[in-house]
Structure 1
Amino acid sequence: MSEITYVPGDATAGRAIDVLVLGGAGVDTIVRVPELPLPYADSYMIDSGIRTRAGQTGDFVAVALTALGLRTHHLDFLGDDPEGDLVRALHREHGIPLTAVPQPAGTKRAVNLVGPDGRRLSLYDTSRAHPDDRFPEDTLRALAGASRHAHVSLTQPCAHALPVLRDTGVTLSTDLHDWDGENPYHEPFAYAADVVFLSAAALGDPERAMRRIAERGRAEVVVATAGARGALVLADDELTRLPAVTPPAPVVDSNGAGDAFAAAFLHAWLNRETPLRSALFGTIAGAHACTVPATETTAIGLDELRVRAADL
């Protein structure tokens, strides 16, 4: 399989891409389980079915950004396998340009166990990448040079792309997900990005971790999402807590909620909204995502997002 390269026009003539999404392409196998943690048993009968669909963190962000009207491009490694075909089909369905670098190890995949309350436990197959994987630098520079912004997933080989991205002058965001505040793998992402998202789930002291990111890195805004407890926003050295938004329907799955939050925040932030206003958009989109079954890959549209924001 040869590399699929998309270079949108002349970067010097304008930015043809609003957001370049790096990494996070793959497939998930969804299994609804009776409870989490799942007690040991020889077997479980899964009446709802076990389904594999395209969509990991980068895919979800790309879909959500596109649903909000942003010109989005996705760059990642993909295998020449059925899973890679699912990812390509997802991008075609949503009209998202995709640059796929061949990955002989195969397309990234995971198994998500989803409980009745929508919580999930993800099992990631880390064999689908190698430490020496690198995005082709000419492709990376061309795409970054044509982009207003780049959102960088934690997946391999995005850490190696950070110096090149910074060299192009494009603004950056990243999502540290459930960082514990100590794992050094996350630090290059945290300190290189202009906007940093993370979950407060594994943080004993979220404010301390957020301020450390702002002090050691270049982040203008640090946002820690906390599910039903809302979100913390650190901007201009001031920490603000935003309450959670009531979901518009019953919560069925939290998978993709953080990605939806990030996409809606970036849409507002790139349109020069304040960090708090951007985070409000994020909480609305994240709450909406929790009402979407794990087997689907859909996102809130711009009109609905604006209506809900106006109501609040």
Structure 2
Amino acid sequence: MKQKFDVVVVGAVGIDTNVYLKSDAVNFEVEANFTENIDYIGMAGGYSSRGFAKLGKKTAFIGYVGNDYKGRYIMDELRSDRIDITGVFFDPYGTKRSVNLIFKDGTRKTFYDGKGSMYVSPDLKLCRKILSKTRLAHFNIVNWSRYLLPIAKELGLVISVDIQDIVDINDEYRKDYIEAADVLFFSCVNFDSPVPFIEKFLQNNPDRVVVSGMGKKGCVLGTKAGIKFYPAVELDDPVVDTTGAGDSLAVGFLSSYFLDGYSLEDSILRGQIAARYCCSKKASSSELITKEKLDKYFSKFKT
């Protein structure tokens, strides 16, 4: 079947409420803390699908929203981004929500409400039809998405998976995602060194590409050629919100390496630029980097 999409994103989308603290920490000795609170479309699937679309990629999204105001708003916004939502289903438990407590340095604590994610089952026939129209599928680890991994594998797609803030290298929840991935992204926010994780992931599949975001320390790339660390890139605007940075790193890398033909090293740089740009915006899924801006920043870093 002729390809219709550059990428299909499979994952979670919902409404995020970012709570920006005006002080360094929550004061639990008083009832009220004064903050800036912003609602927007978020979560890994929201950021990833909108990120690819901003870069001009023909994008389809497979996910769930509630049959409610928030869900209809999300579908309208994705349509306006020219993202195909044929694979968006209704979750009887409602639209997912997250509350992200954002500290003054841009770091965060997230409180995630996945609604019916552990119980719903997607229409596999329809999902197969959508996945058959692409060569690249980017998966988030919302529970129901695991049922689409065998389909993507059978269709011979490049399977990218973001296992996010992993804690246990032997985590059973993430096991089938890791086994299926040709490209694996993860955050090392919960530990000091990503090296043992990368070594384990490459041991299971030496041909895969592994990318880990390290925040202020930059990021690291693991392949059968070895493990290489890259320093963080800096832009003029300060870091105000790290929400979506990992998704932007993945989008920038995948679009550059698999869709635009850049080298691994250049694709890492472009992914880092996309991530750093995301961090300079508050509640930023509608303000992610465009292809024109990414190309401009990339040229600047390369000269």
Displacement, 1:58?
Answer: 0.6
Q: Secondary structure at 1:248's aligned position in 2? A: coil
Root mean square deviation of aligned Cα: 1.7
Structure 2 residue aligned with 1:213: 201
Q: TM-score, normalised by structure 1?
A: 0.90
Match of 2:21 among 33, 54, 58: 33
Q: Secondary structure at 2:161's aligned position in 1? A: strand
Structure 2 residue aligned with 1:103: 91
- Say if 2:289 is the partner of 1:289: no
- Say if 2:52 is the partner of 1:52: no
Mapped to 2, the partners of 1:296 and 1:44 lie a distance apart of 28
- Say if 2:72 is the partner of 1:72: no
Within-5 A mapping of 1:256-275: 256-270=244-258, 271-275=260-264
Mapped to 2, the partners of 1:191 and 1:264 lie a distance apart of 23
Displacement, 1:237?
Answer: 3.3
1:221-252 per-residue CA deviation (whole Å, 9 max, x = no partner) reads 10011011111101233111111110231111
Mapped to 1, the partners of 2:131 and 2:205 lie a distance apart of 21
Which amino acid in structure 1 is aligned with residue 281 of structure 2?
Answer: V
Structure 2 residue aligned with 1:24: 12
Contact 1:105/1:129 (8 A) holds in 2: yes
1:142-185 per-residue CA deviation (whole Å, 9 max, x = no partner) reads 01110120000111211222112111111110111110124221
Structure 1 residues without counterparts, runs of 5 or longer = 1-11
Match of 2:160 among 173, 183, 189: 173
Mapped to 2, the partners of 1:149 and 1:193 lie a distance apart of 11
Contact 2:26/2:33 (8 A) holds in 1: no
Structure 2 residue aligned with 1:7: none
Q: TM-score, normalised by structure 2?
A: 0.93
Within-5 A mapping of 1:240-259: 240-259=228-247
Contact 1:101/1:135 (8 A) holds in 2: yes
**Identity within the alignment, %:** 26
Contact 1:190/1:217 (8 A) holds in 2: no
1:244-295 per-residue CA deviation (whole Å, 9 max, x = no partner) reads 1102311111111111111110111112322222111101111100101126
Displacement, 1:52?
Answer: 2.1
Displacement, 1:194?
Answer: 0.8
Structure 1 residue aligned with 2:143: 156
Residue 145 and residue 218 in structure 1: after superposition, are their counterparts in 2 closer, same or farther (change >3 A)?
A: farther
Residue 218 and residue 240 in structure 1: after superposition, are their counterparts in 2 closer, same or farther (change >3 A)?
A: closer
Displacement, 1:191?
Answer: 1.9
Displacement, 1:33?
Answer: 1.8
Mapped to 2, the partners of 1:279 and 1:87 lie a distance apart of 30
Structure 2 residues without counterparts, runs of 5 or longer = none
Match of 1:302 among 285, 291, 297: 291
Match of 1:141 among 122, 128, 143: 128
Structure 2 residue aligned with 1:236: 224
Which amino acid in structure 2 is aligned with residue 303 of structure 1?
Answer: E
